[in-house]
Amino acid sequence: MSFIPVVLWSDALVFLLVGVIVMAALYIRKREHLMLPWKRVARSNVALVSMLVLSVFLVIGLLDTLHYRAALPQSSNGEKVYSPEVLSAFDTLVGPLRTRTEKTYSAPFALHLYAKESMTDAQGNVVREYPRLQYGGVHLAHESQRNMDVLKRVANGGVVGFLFGCLLAWLLGRRVPRLPVQIALVVFATLAGAGIDLANAYHVLGTDKVGQDVLYLSLKSIRTGLIIGTLTTLVTLPLALFLGVAAGYFRGWVDDVIQYIYTVLSSIPSVLLIAAAVLMMQVTIDTHPEWFDTSAARADMRLVALCLILGLTSWTGLCRLLRGETLKLREMEYIQAAQAFGVSSMRILSRHIMPNVMHIILIALVMDFSALVLAEAVLSYVGVGVDPSMISFGTMINGARLEMGREPMVWWSLASAFVFMLILVLAANLLADAVRDAFDPRLNRTEGKA
């Protein structure tokens, strides 16, 4: 076997989350009353386009979750040895982007480095010039050919992507005949085709300080953002749901205790609380290096711990919302009637309270996803986020902090992280709006009367 599979803690949690989502989808599909809100979501063109964009991010994130260690050449005693570097299926798929590293900074589509170096010309004189890149545009004989070559590659890749997108749109149209979604699919496929053709010959988004392709770094950051935004909900949701509903329904001393807990927790500045927890966690990791066989496992443990810390410190907002909604629902006539007929509290909570707070849960989780992606960037910027060796939007922004102050200014790392984060967060927020409208029973009741 030329490689050995590696399952990190975050990988296992992602697989668990995917399994839960698949089982929930199969359960919902067999029940018409549960499918009805999702059918309303499917009627929104904005929601479908947002889901298309998010699905691309999810595919990249899942491919980057399949990790392995490649086998090294066998030693003299015949023992098989594996590389300490942990790679993913995505790394294999975009191998040239990962391996074609330059010496240092280079601008997008550049043919030379961004800084001058001392070089010896044909006459033996030492001059200060911009060195030619080792990989970017190396197939060109002269700089004047670049613009025409870029246009040619955009046209060729765009045509291939356009045809592939038309095929996918035709297949999709047979099941979901939505013209805006089909147009979005064709546009995305066209842009992807042009981008892939360009990335094979140029550094489309430039390179960073150590010469790594910024497009590769931006794509690798997607997995970190998705894990922060999704795995944190595994901690947030049970706490907020159980405590919020319990406080609103049972009231009395139960409500007083839960209110006291989340009021005290909310009074502590969240950044300081997270920073203190992350620093304590980092000390524990540093004092037990024997726990980890690779640097990737060490960085992954810090990522999982960060998700746990964010979950334990960010459930109070949703808990407060659920408590207020449950207090209101508890006084409704059908809840009072169920109590009068002796229906148990657990059955009232599961059959009457939960369905009517589901829209709050879904919209809060999707909105929290956006907030958590942005929070990771802020925390990594101040040095208490993910491990510095892990690629993320936050580490890219942190690395661009000094680059923005140099002359000439290196702007493309920050711009790339900003654009990718903007697309991810905007798609999630637009989907959240559609989910809210579909699941909110008050809006649906108004539509029915109209």
Nearest one of 304, 270, 313, 310 to 284, comparing CA atoms: 304
3-state helix, strand, coil in the chain (%, to 5): 70, 5, 25
Integer Cα distance of 377 and 280 in angstroms: 20
Nearest one of 294, 298, 365, 355 to 329, comparing CA atoms: 355
> For residue 286, what pLDDT is reported?
80
> For residue 441, what pLDDT is reported?
59
Q: What is the pLDDT confidence band of residue 62, given thresholds at 50, 70 and 90?
A: very high
In sequence order, the β-bridge partners of residue 268 are none
> For residue 60, what pLDDT is reported?
92
Integer Cα distance of 298 and 9 in angstroms: 10
> Is residue 184's pLDDT more than 60?
yes
CB 98 within 8 A of CB 91: yes
Comparing 46-60, 352-366, 410-424, the range with the smallest average pLDDT is 352-366
Average pLDDT over residues 146-163: 90
All domains of the chain, ordered by start, with CATH? 109-203 (no CATH), 216-435 (1.10.3720.10)
Residues in contact with 304: Cβ distance below 8 Å, sequence separation at least 6, in sequence order: 9, 10, 13, 231
Extract the tokens encoding 156.
């060729």
Q: What is the pLDDT confidence band of residue 404, given thresholds at 50, 70 and 90?
A: confident
| Greatest distance between any 2 Cα atoms in the chain | 100
CB 441 within 8 A of CB 358: no
Q: What is the pLDDT confidence band of residue 59, given thresholds at 50, 70 and 90?
A: very high
Average pLDDT of every residue of the chain: 83
Q: What is the pLDDT confidence band of residue 110, given thresholds at 50, 70 and 90?
A: confident
For 75-103, how does the pLDDT look when each residue is reduced to its tens digit (9 = 90+)? 666 677 778 888 889 988 988 888 888 88
Nearest one of 274, 285, 279, 280 to 312, comparing CA atoms: 274
Extract the tokens encoding 272.
């300081």
> For residue 255, what pLDDT is reported?
85
Average pLDDT over residues 310-331: 85
> For residue 449, what pLDDT is reported?
47
> For residue 57, what pLDDT is reported?
92
> Is residue 132's pLDDT more than 80?
yes
For 272-314, how does the pLDDT look when each residue is reduced to its tens digit (9 = 90+)? 788 888 888 888 888 888 888 888 888 888 888 888 888 888 8
Q: What is the pLDDT confidence band of residue 436, given thresholds at 50, 70 and 90?
A: confident
> For residue 235, what pLDDT is reported?
82
Continuous H helices in 214-294: 214-250, 252-267, 270-286
pTM: 0.86
> For residue 275, what pLDDT is reported?
81
> For residue 78, what pLDDT is reported?
65
